[in-house]
Amino acid sequence: MKSLEELVNKEEPFIEVINDWVSKAKNPVLVLPPSDNCAQVLINVQVTTRSILGSLAYHTGGVLIDHGWIRVLGSGSKDFPRDVFSWNSDSNKSGLYLVADDAAGGFYAINGGAFPGQTNSIYYWAPDSMEWENLELKFSDFFSWLLSGDLNSFYEGIRWESWQEDMSRISTDQCGTFYPFLWTEQGNCNTSSRGVVPISEALTLKYDLLSKMQ
């Protein structure tokens, strides 16, 4: 285990890179202040602040993108009461490191060996699919894309008509749920019955359904 002194890079902290990217972002971005527990989160994660992931864990409480539609994990805050380490401890999914999720119940994770091929690539588990998709992006490129990429095109078929209005009713610990499920033939983001559930419940349910299908 590396110490806090070894993990905090004072000469080249990537928080300066993050701040620069945020200042130039094309999508709405809210960087939350770090929690009082940020040092312990960084120690637990064991990634230096000379990386985007380490800087997010130490210098931010998380990042909310596009009106809160996407939630990138950091050290947690009152507005985002999950941190990147405890969220992965709670999820207990071997070979995957969850780094972000969205208000529709989609999950982003770093491949740590769960999938064949190159590790450290970002995978996305969309609400309208029962398979993880390789986005073929490293975490730094993924974060940059979240800030300035075409999210409307990416989320076509997943965002319902009033999604922006509904963001105020979906907390960072929750996500939307649909019935019929979006991954079924009957599922549709605008016609399926929508509700709100804890994000942990949505993740567990999806894994349970996947295990029954295999």
* Averaged pLDDT, 172-200: 96
Q: Tokens 């637990």 identify what position?
A: 44
| Two tokens, residue 35 | 């929690």
- Could you report the per-residue pLDDT of 127-166, keeping only the tens digit for each? 999 999 999 999 999 999 999 999 999 999 999 999 999 9
Q: Does the pLDDT value for residue 214 go beyond 80?
A: no
Closest C-alpha to 27, from 153, 134, 123 = 153
When pLDDT is cut at 50, 70 and 90, the band that residue 91 belongs to is low
Q: Which CATH superfamily is domain 4-213 in?
A: SMI1/KNR4-like (3.40.1580.10)
The backbone region for 157, taken as left when phi is positive above 0, alpha when psi lies in -120 to 50, beta otherwise, is left
Ranges of each domain in the chain: 4-213
**Alpha-carbon distance 34 to 17, whole Å?**
17
Does residue 100 contact residue 62 with C-beta atoms inside 8 Å? no
Does residue 94 contact residue 115 with C-beta atoms inside 8 Å? no
How many angstroms from the chain centroid is the CA of residue 147? 13
